[in-house]
Every structure is written in C-alpha cells, then in structure tokens.
C-alpha cells in the first residue's frame, strides 16, 4: 500500500470513528426523560455482576453500552425512589441466574421504592424460587395465562468424580486442613462425607427459612401456609392465581398500560437502563467502592475462558492502595463476591486491607459469596456486613494434584523422568505421593491453615481456638455467621455504605460520591474472546455455561499442582 493510499485510509477511518462517536454522544445525550413523569420499565437481566463488564470491541459500539452491575442497579432504584419524575416501576422478570444474596440486594431496593409510596408491578414470564422472590417485592404480580410457576422448594447438589477418574485411570492425590474442607471429596469420593452432608443440610435449612419468611411477609401469609404452597408446587398460571401467588393474569404488552393507568395517562414509559445513563455523580464526600469479584489468582485480573472474570491480587491491591492514599477518599467499602482461591494471593490482599484499615475505615460488604479466600481478605476490615443468604466462612486449606500417567498409558503414551533430589517428583503429575511426601504436604497445608486462623483471630478479636471451632473449612450462611462472630451485622450494600459513612464521620445529610474501583482492564484479545463466548440478549450479555463435569475438571487444573488453596469446597447452586 502506498503512503498516499495509507493516508486516505487513515483519514477515512478517523471520519467513520468520529461520526460514530458523535452519534453515540447524541444518543446518550437523549437518554434523559422527556415527559414530566414516567414509569420505569426494568427488564431484569439474567446475569448480574459485581464488576463492570469489559468493553466489547466486536459489538461495533464506540461507547460501550450499559452493563448491569449490582451497585448500578441498586443505586438507580434507590435514586428513582426519590426522583419526583418517577411515578412507578415495572419489573419484567424472565429467568435470573443470581445468587440469593444478590436477589435480596435488589429486592431490598425495590421494597425501598415501594416504601416511598410508589407502586411496583412485576410480570413473570416464568420462573422458580429466585424469580418469584424478587417479584414478591412488588405490590402486584402478573403472569401470562400460559406460564408456569416452578415454585416447589429448594435443592442443593454436589458432583463427585471418583468413578470417572477410576475409568480414566487418573489417581487423585489431595489433602486438606479442616474437617469440613470437602473440596477434595469431589475428586476422591462417590458421595458426601457426614461432615459435608451436615454442613450442606444446615445451609439448605437457612436458605429455606429465609425464603419462607420473605414470602410470608410479602404475601401476608403465615409461614406454614407458604411451606404448604411450596410442597404442592409447581403451578400453572391459573392455579397460581387461585392460590393467591399472583394477582392477575395478563400479557406483557398489557402490563405497561396497567401501570400507566395507575399513575395517570400523561406519564410515559422509560427503560430503566436508559434512566441509569442519565444519572450523574453526586456529592463531595467520597467513599471508594472497591470490587473484589471472582476466583482469587496471583497477578492481574483477567478473563479466563470457561470461567469468566477472575480476581487478580495485583489488580485489587493497586485499587486498595489508590483508595488508601487518595486524601479525598474518606472510607472504603470492599465488596466481595468470591469463593476464594490462592492462599498466597489472598494473604497479599489481606495485608493491603490491613494497611487500609490503619489509614481509614474499611467496611466489607459480602455479596453471594465471601468464602475461604474471600473471607480471608475480609478478615482485616474494620467491619463486616453480610446478607443473611451470603455463603461465607470456609476457613480452611486444601491442595494436591492429579496423577495422569495411567490415562497416558491407556492412550498408548509413556513418560520417563530423570531426577536429582529425593522429592524432585513430589508435584509431578506422573507419580503418586510417597507416604513421606503425603506427610510433608499435609504439614504445608496445616501451616497454611494456622496462618488463616491467626488472620481471623486478629481481625475478629477472637481466640485462635474459637476461630478454629467455627473454621475447619465449614461454609456458613450470613445468618449463622452473624451469631458466630464471623460478621458484625446483617445488611445489604447500602447498610455497608452507611456504616462506612458513620465510621468516617460523614453527616447523614451530606450526599456521598461513590467511586468504583478498580477500573476495568482487559487486553484486546481477552476482550475479543470474551465477546465470542457471549451471546447477545437485548441489553444484556449471557455467559456460556459449562457442564458441571467440565467445570470440575477445569477447577482441578487451573492452579499449579500442590498449590495451597483457600477455596470454597463446592459451588452451591440452590434452586
């Protein structure tokens, strides 16, 4: 290509990008409401993340579109409750893949909207317990006549791979510190151990009680009646209406008209995401909202195919350092949604949290998960706030390796290894641990567990023996953790922001400016891969989900062999 032709191509590219930018700016400038009053239409997203989504270069958008995050959704709903232009709210709920704590977070914001004297309508195209729990915050619940309400109770499942490994001639070599640290059971057993079963049963009991109590309060029913309704489900739309679970049967197109009739014909409808785009920053008193979301790894936060966003210790430490050293930031809220991960990386983050706490108030807000390494990094904070449905604790350590030599030989391959040093092959994927190596490895894990206990003991002001008694790798609900002294209070993100305000001495009547950290960073190729692994769904992106067995095998391989892991023992999906 000649220099002149290259120059024309460059000019043309600048013209196209400039035009696109102007159009995008024009579009964003016209997202503000044009009517004197409006009904917000909230198309509830299937996925709800804690951190901002990366820019998607393959979507051909010069300005990235609004992506749903918990903070943005809750902040928008709470500001709409005080906005005199907003008359009502319509929730359009299809299917949501949120944890129970996130459902409670958004539900609390919807209830705050209703408490401001503004009507809320919910339309359920279908759904189960999570969808109905969110809808129950509305004053009016509607379903289409052909829908099904899958309201029939809760289940919790765990996958075991021992038989699979035996068929593949793979030998797991794992150990753990903590009686309930049952992550290794996934690879070494065919069923739950008694300690693991007891912990899972207790979690299920807590979640079920929270569900029953919330629905009983919302629908004005005694808890026993709600349990009977759950036992007799699921329901067709007609049966749900007759049982008083929904208030009316109508189609989606009719719901907007119903809401508009309730507030006056002069009102207009306004998409919630567009309303968010029109909101501006407020206040001068700054609080940093530092987001810690994903499995904890050493290094930078990044995208991992099949797992999504992971939490890099370097990225989070830099964000905490910025919040600590900026004089304009008066307090820090550390928002955690993490099952844990690398013990080393968790300890590095803990150290920076501890340094922050010495400089200014640090309040932890727990989302769906703040377990194992997720709890480790919380332990150094001034105060911990959790939702009743948060899964936390899991104070324990495990690690190990998979010996794949048998699989290789089954496939016609062989491996020969030369070594120097008695234990040079200790972490080799082609040899089992010797009895001496098993003992040495167990000792390493016990050292890591004792360090974990010391961090909890210092941060929670409890004797090490007490930390050990509530530790042992056991996962607790936020409800139980409060009674055990692992968290200070039960509440949502707004409660954590209020606690940070109080500790920083910011008056109640002074507006807060919440600054979200860290800033999103992804390489071009990571962002391109992320875009390829997502499918478009209106304004929302849905991540590709892996079959459980594939996810479990990836989990075994994603950390170096022998790494000490402060990682939640299982992924609890209660549906």
Active centre residues (catalytic) = 181, 372
- CB-neighbour burial class of residue 422 (10 A; exposed 0-12, middle 13-18, buried 19+): exposed
Q: What residues are paired with 149 via a beta bridge? A: 127, 235
Place of tokens 């499995």: 295
Pairing of strands 397-403, 171-177: antiparallel
Which residues have a Cβ under 8 Å from the Cβ of 137 and sit 6 or more positions away?
91, 107, 110, 111, 114, 120, 122, 218
Collapsing DSSP to helix, strand or coil, 39 comes out as strand
Give CA separation, 463 vs 191, 459, 467, in Å: 34, 11, 6
CB atoms under 10 Å from CB of 134, counted, come to 23
End-to-end CA distance of the chain: 59
* Alpha-helix residue ranges (DSSP H) falling in 30-97: 70-82
Q: Is 382 helix (H, G, I), strand (E, B) or coil?
A: coil
Task: Give me 154's structure tokens.
Answer: 């809760």
Name the CA dihedral angle for 561, 567, 573, 574, rounded to a multiple of 10 degrees: 150
Dihedral angle of Cα 237, 243, 246, 247, to the nearest 10 degrees:
110
Angle at 189 between CA 184 and CA 190, to 5 degrees: 140
How many Cα atoms occupy the beta-carbon half-sphere of 342 within 13 Å? Answer: 19
Secondary structure letter of residue 163 according to DSSP: H
- DSSP state, 573? -
CA-to-CA distance for 346 and 332, rounded, in angstroms? Answer: 18
Contact (CB, 8 A) for 544 and 384: no
SS3 270: strand
210: left (phi over 0), alpha (psi -120 to 50) or beta: alpha
Sign of CA dihedral 522, 528, 534, 537: positive
């Amino acid at each position: 290509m000649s220099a002149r032709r290259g120059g024309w191509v460059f000019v043309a590219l600048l013209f196209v990008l400039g035009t696109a930018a102007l159009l995008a700016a024009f579009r964003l400038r016209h997202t503000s409401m044009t009517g004197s009053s409006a009904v917000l239409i909230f198309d509830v997203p299937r996925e709800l993340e804690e951190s901002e989504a990366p820019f998607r270069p393959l979507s051909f958008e010069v300005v990235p579109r609004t992506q749903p995050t918990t903070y943005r959704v809750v902040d928008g709903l709470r500001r709409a409750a005080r906005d005199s232009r907003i008359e009502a709210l319509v929730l359009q709920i299809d299917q949501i893949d949120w944890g129970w704590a996130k459902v409670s977070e958004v539900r609390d914001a919807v209830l705050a909207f209703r408490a401001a004297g503004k009507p809320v309508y919910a339309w359920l195209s279908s759904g189960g317990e999570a969808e109905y729990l969110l809808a129950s915050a509305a004053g009016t619940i509607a379903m289409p006549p052909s829908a099904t309400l899958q309201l029939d109770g809760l289940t919790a499942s765990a996958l075991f791979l021992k038989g699979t490994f035996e068929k593949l001639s793979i030998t797991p070599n794992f150990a753990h510190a903590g009686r309930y640290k049952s992550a290794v059971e996934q690879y070494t057993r065919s069923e739950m151990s008694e300690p693991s079963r007891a912990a899972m049963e207790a979690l299920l009991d807590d979640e079920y009680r929270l569900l029953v109590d919330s629905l009983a309060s919302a629908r004005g029913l005694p808890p026993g009646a709600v349990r009977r309704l759950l036992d007799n489900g699921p329901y067709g739309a007609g049966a749900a209406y007759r049982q008083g679970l929904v208030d009316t049967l109508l189609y989606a197109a009719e719901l907007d008209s119903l809401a508009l009739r309730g507030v006056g014909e002069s009102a207009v409808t306004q998409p919630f995401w567009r309303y968010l785009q029109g909101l501006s920053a407020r206040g001068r008193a700054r609080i940093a909202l530092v987001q810690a979301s994903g499995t904890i790894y050493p290094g930078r936060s990044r995208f991992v195919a099949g797992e999504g966003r992971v939490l890099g210790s370097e990225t989070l430490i830099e964000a905490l350092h910025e919040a600590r050293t900026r004089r304009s930031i008066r307090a820090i809220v550390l928002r955690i949604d993490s099952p844990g991960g690398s013990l080393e990386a968790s300890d590095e983050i803990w150290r920076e949290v501890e340094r922050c706490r010495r400089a200014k108030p640090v309040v932890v807000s727990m989302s769906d998960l703040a377990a194992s390494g997720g709890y480790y990094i919380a332990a150094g904070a001034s105060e911990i706030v959790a939702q009743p449905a948060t899964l936390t604790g899991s104070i324990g350590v495990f690690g190990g390796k998979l010996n794949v030599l048998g699989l290789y030989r089954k496939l016609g391959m062989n491996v020969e290894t030369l070594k120097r040093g008695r234990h040079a092959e200790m972490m080799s994927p082609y040899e089992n641990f010797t009895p001496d190596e098993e003992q040495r490895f167990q000792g390493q894990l016990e050292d890591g567990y004792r360090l974990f206990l010391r961090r909890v003991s210092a941060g929670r002001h409890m004797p090490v023996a007490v930390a050990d008694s509530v530790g042992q790798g056991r996962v607790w609900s936020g409800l139980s953790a409060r009674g055990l002294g692992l968290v200070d209070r039960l509440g949502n993100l707004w409660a954590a922001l209020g606690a940070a305000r109080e500790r920083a001495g910011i008056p109640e009547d002074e507006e807060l400016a919440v600054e979200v950290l860290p800033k999103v960073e992804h390489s071009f190729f990571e962002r391109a891969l992320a875009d390829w692994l997502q499918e478009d769904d209106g304004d929302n992106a849905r991540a590709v989900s892996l079959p459980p067995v594939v996810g479990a095998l990836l989990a075994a391989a994603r950390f170096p062999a022998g790494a000490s892991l402060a990682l939640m023992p299982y992924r609890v999906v209660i549906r």
